[in-house]
Amino acid sequence: MRIAFIGLGNMGSGMAANQAKAGREIVAFDLSSEALARAQEQGMTPAVSAREAVNDADVVITMLPAGDHVRSVYAEAILPHAPKDALLIDCSTIDVDSARTVARDASMQGFRTAAAPASGGTAAAAAGALTFMVGCREQDFAEIESALKPMAKAVIRAGDSGAGQAAKICNNMLLGISMVGVSEAFALAEGLGLDAQKFYDIASQASGQCWSLTSYCPWPGPVPAAPSNRDYEGGFAAAMMLKDLKLAQEAADISGAPTPLGGAAEALYSEMVERGFGQKDFSFILQMLRGRP
Ligand code: NAD
């Protein structure tokens, strides 16, 4: 299987490496020359443009920052230059409208497409243990599942076009809220004189347990793989979390769903980005709450 992989950032680099490890032929492209050099070291073929990457692809996978990037790469490179029988899978987290527009344009030109946003963070991307939420036609799902398999713990079809993004937006609103909650709990524990590790040992075995605590702990120490142990670098940027929380609030406005805590999380991440910490991992919200940046 020949895969064009576009977007080799914090997530895409690990994802593409797992495809290469599974023996698939990867032609990779990113705007960053360092990312391309890393891909070459891992056995992938670097392309000089997205257009060149997709030329002979059986599958095109994109892992780009936001809807604008996906729309432009699709319009300028993928739709005009990929073979018409290529399977197009966008794994980026983007707004439902961009996902539906890209899928509509692609299917009008005869392509099979899927939006398959991923959950799990950079550690799961590197370990090939992401959860993919797929919006696609039912008859295309088996092929999409097999294409995503080397990067996945689970591949779940959420429904038709747009459903994968809808599931991802709801999931990440929950993640943003839970990270703020865990951070507030650590800040309060500190204020009450509790040892942070002791609090972790107790909460991780009690009803406060959640992914933000036990897989991605914002307090440095208890979870060695978490970005809090590397000065909050190289994880899921706060600016990206803010993007997702804004997408959730827009979707809530349109659908009339009540999301008061989603709104509060959006306000806190807006403040973090305005204060210049948009490129820090989103778990850095703990340090902002503690007044420590
Ligand atoms: P990132 O900024 O680290 O990587 C994005 C990459 O895309 C960069 O290397 C950039 O150079 C490249 N890029 C941008 N425009 C391009 C273009 N026109 N052509 C080729 N390459 C281009 O971002 P990330 O953390 O890897 O996130 C990517 C997507 O995955 C986002 O939509 C994000 O919301 C989602 N996501 C991230 C995480 C996480 O923990 N980081 C988890 C799940 C989902």
**Model confidence over 5-62: pLDDT tens digits?**
999 999 999 999 999 999 999 999 999 999 999 999 999 999 999 999 999 999 999 9
How far is ligand 1, taken at its centre, from the CA of residue 232, in Å? 17
Taking Cα atoms as reference points, which of 190, 180, 186, 181 lies closest to residue 272?
Answer: 180
Write down the pLDDT at residue 161.
86
Residue 31 beta carbon below 6 angstroms from any ligand 1 atom: yes
What's phi and psi for 26, nearest 5 deg? -110, 125
Question: Regarding beta strands 130-135 and 59-62, do their DSSP bridges make them parallel or antiparallel, or are they unpaired?
Answer: unpaired
What is the distance between the alpha carbons of residues 33 and 69, in angstroms, rounded to a whole number? 18
Q: At what angle do helices 238-255 and 163-191 cross, to 10 degrees?
A: 120
pTM of the model: 0.90
Closest atom of ligand 1 to CA, residue 240: 34
Give all domains of the chain, ordered by start, each with its CATH number: 2-159 (3.40.50.720), 167-289 (1.10.1040.10)
**Which residues of the chain fall below pLDDT 70?**
none
Write down the pLDDT at residue 162.
85
Q: At what angle do helices 260-272 and 163-191 cross, to 10 degrees?
A: 70
What is the distance between the alpha carbons of residues 89 and 283, in angstroms, rounded to a whole number? 29
Question: Regarding beta strands 130-135 and 118-119, do their DSSP bridges make them parallel or antiparallel, or are they unpaired?
Answer: antiparallel
**Cβ of 95: how many Cβ atoms within 10 Å?**
21
Write down the pLDDT at residue 203.
98
Write down the pLDDT at residue 184.
98
Question: Which amino acid, residue 236?
Answer: F
Write down the pLDDT at residue 137.
94
Structure token pair of residue 72: 């432009």
Any idea which residues carry the catalytic annotation? 168
N-to-C CA span, the chain: 47
Write down the pLDDT at residue 208.
97
What is the distance between the alpha carbons of residues 95 and 279, in angstroms, rounded to a whole number? 20
